[in-house]
Amino acid sequence: MITRLPAWFRQEIPRDINLIKNRLKSFENHNLNTVCLSARCPNISRCFEDNSVTFMILGDACSRNCRFCAVNKERPRALGLSEAYNLALTIRSLN
């Protein structure tokens, strides 16, 4: 017997795939890390469409050691010289 997934578990297909690609390219160009990508979040398209992003500062690592999370676990790095500026530019472009 095959059972269907509950409605709350299903994901919609992204409405604007180009928007998502542009967001990802912008983060890559500015050398920024997001929890969305690092944690392999399944809701990434929904958040990106809503202009919602959780940025990681001090690199792509987290000092916490949550077993359920896919984020790289190590000591955070030193602040990059252009990280704050690049983050501000990217946040500004989300509006």
In this prediction, residue 85 carries a pLDDT of 92
List Cα–Cα distances, 81 to 12, 30, 31, 58, 86, in angstroms.
Answer: 39, 12, 12, 11, 10
Residue 51 domain-assigned?
Answer: yes
pLDDT tens by residue, the chain, 95 residues: 788 888 887 777 777 888 888 888 988 999 898 888 888 888 888 888 888 888 888 888 888 878 888 888 888 777 788 888 999 998 888 77
Number of structural domains in the chain: 1
Residue range of the domain that includes 66: 15-94
Give the Cα separation of 64 and 15 in Å (integer).
34
Is residue 39 a part of any domain in this protein?
yes
Asked whether residue 71 is assigned to any structural domain, the reply reads: yes
Its pTM stands at 0.69
